[in-house]
Amino acid sequence: MNKKTGLTLALALALSGITALNARAAEGGATEEQAVAMVKKGVAFMKANGKDKGYAEISNKAGQFIFQDLYLVAYGLDGTVRAHGANIKMVGKNLIDLKDVDGKAFVKERVEMAASKGSFWQDYKFTNPENKKIEPKRMYCEKYEDMAICGGIYK
């Protein structure tokens, strides 16, 4: 391979990597940093405005806690959904025994981790509300009082 061909190949590989990153951004995929920031913003909102207003704002599909494929969910430490940014029908349901397609009891694990760690990342599989496909998901959660406030990204 001559110098010009090598440079062309290196440039093509670099551009393909940039194209892949741009494609993910164009798909509307939020980042880990955005998930952490949104959860922190949700906790701050609850602290400033109270739980009832916090639950209402998290569950508001036109609210400040929805961005691309990122939304917040608030779980009581018993596994009951208190607010849900993507599916209001989940509010009030106890999902402690819910398992993903691999059999992982992710809600049970989530509330146990909230009680023991305070803040954490959790991996599992879940239906992406934008494309209705089951995808790997990474959820960031923080414990606030008697609940876990969580926001996740699809990988």
DSSP per residue, 121-147 = EEEEEEE-TTT--EEEEEEEEEEETTE
Does 82 share its domain with 146?
Answer: yes
pLDDT at 29: 86
Does 65 share its domain with 92?
Answer: yes
Helix axis angle, 51-59 relative to 32-49, nearest 10°? 140
Q: Is the dihedral of CA 120, 123, 128, 129 positive or negative?
A: negative
Q: What is the mean pLDDT of the segment spanning 137-155?
A: 96
- Write down how long the chain is: 155
pLDDT at 26: 42
Does 6 share its domain with 22?
Answer: yes
Average pLDDT, the chain: 85
Contact 74, 58 (CB under 8 A): yes
Does 99 share its domain with 62?
Answer: yes
Does 55 share its domain with 20?
Answer: no
Burial of residue 60 (CB within 10 Å: 0-12, 13-18, 19+) is: middle
| pLDDT per position as a tens digit, 58-88 | 999 999 999 988 999 999 999 999 999 999 9
**Domain that includes residue 13, residue range:** 1-29
Lowest mean pLDDT among 66-70, 78-82, 128-132, 139-143: 128-132
| pLDDT per position as a tens digit, 11-51 | 333 333 333 333 334 455 899 999 999 999 999 999 999 99
Does 64 share its domain with 139?
Answer: yes
Does 20 share its domain with 91?
Answer: no
pLDDT at 130: 80
Does 77 share its domain with 15?
Answer: no
Amino acid residing at 80? T
pLDDT at 103: 96
Does 75 share its domain with 90?
Answer: yes
Strand ranges in 4-146 using DSSP code E only, listed in sequence order = 66-67, 70-76, 81-84, 119-127, 134-144
- Confidence band (pLDDT; 50, 70, 90) for 155? confident
Does 88 share its domain with 115?
Answer: yes
Number of separate domains in the chain: 2
Angle at the Cα of 37 (from 149 to 120), degrees rounded to 5?
50
Does 6 share its domain with 39?
Answer: no
